[in-house]
Chain A
């Protein structure tokens, strides 16, 4: 399974991640207005929150493995912005792993700053790929951040796949938080919570 197929696999995962993030955004943006969406939100939170941190760990693991594959197997040199994104992504693996092991629902307070900063750097990197003159009009001879190593489905590059991973981990951690709050609410007013999802 060479670079092309690993890229295809990661790109498909990125599309799934983007779809999940889009659904989450729509549900979050509409949930106060439409009772059906309130119910859908309840179903989604109930369905995903018990395994949200585990899923976030899987996403971080795949992103880290993919990043290492590109640099160590495909020999794509990480640029300066790639390194910053790695700094944000790699620690998520041990942080989320420990959270899964200890069943720590508060992990989002430690992980979200990393995912948000990483996502912002990815956003800037994607912009730089589309508008190379944003930063400079020169390609560094060594390893410029404007170099696009791979492109899939016409738009997915390495930083945009990283963005998808950061965004999905962010959403999953928020879902875990929503699940925790929902469970606390259930303890206080179970009938209301159950009514919402009916």
Chain B
């Protein structure tokens, strides 16, 4: 008696179907490419530049590596002279006033979470008696949420904001190691406290109080 002849390895119809699906995906992508579809979010508006030259005067602060007591506390904060993204001059100088400076990056999810909170807190009266400044730095046109000027405008951000240069000169001079980054400066121009990361209202108020000296 002979064993019935059967096909053990059938033609791989399913595998070929899978290959066809992959080829279809390639065709759709090619069609999209030829059609010129896609493209990132729009660039900055006319007359707006997301990075601008900045001038730093004074000795750079030590990078904030989280060491406490913070070696930068009590040191004079370097002065920053620059402009906002729309070209308006903005300077952070030793002018005898208490300040809180916030460094933000458009691509950082923690900055994107923190900015609306700060808008809300300041609208509710937080930060009274302290000049609030911001520095938009770490700008990368390939990264998400670009351009930062549009993002800040959407959030209702009215704080004077310096557009840092491409190499992040202002951020480096102030010892930034992570975003968002806050530096409280006393009226005498010395650093009162520094903090990195998302803050809650209590931490924000503590920085404001530290800036008051």
Contacts and interface: CB of A to CB of B under 8 A. Distances in A.
Contact of A148 (B144, B176, B198): B144
A136 B197 contact: yes
Interface in A105-144: 132-133, 136-141, 144
B206 interface: no
Interface residues of B, number: 43
Contacts of B33: 1-2, 5
A51 B196 contact: no
B154 interface: no
A76 B144 CA distance: 11
Interface string A1-22: 1101111110011001000100
Interface string A130-164: 00110011111100101111010000000000000
A146 B180 CA distance: 13
Contacts, number: 114
Interface stretch (A25-33, A42-50, A89-97): A42-50
Contacts of A58: 22
B21 A138 contact: no
Contact of B29 (A9, A48, A137): A9
B67 interface: no
**Residue among A7, A138, A141 with max Cβ neighbours from chain B (10 Å):** A141
A147 B107 CA distance: 7
A141 B142 contact: no
Contacts of B176: 141
B177 interface: yes
A102 interface: no
A87 B168 CA distance: 31
Given A5-B38, A8-B38, A16 B13 contact: no
A73 B198 CA distance: 33
A137 B197 contact: yes
Interface string B118-147: 000000000000000000001000111000
A49 to B, nearest CB: 9
A1 B37 CA distance: 10
B142 A74 contact: yes
Given A137-B197, A141-B177, A148-B144, A132 B109 contact: yes
Contacts of B15: 47-48, 50-52, 55
A16 B18 CA distance: 9
Contacts of A65: none
27 contacts: A1-B30, A4-B38, A5-B30, A5-B33, A5-B37, A7-B38, A8-B29, A43-B14, A46-B9, A47-B12, A47-B14, A50-B12, A52-B15, A55-B15, A55-B18, A132-B113, A137-B110, A138-B178, A138-B196, A139-B107, A139-B109, A139-B180, A141-B171, A146-B108, A146-B110, A147-B109, A194-B6
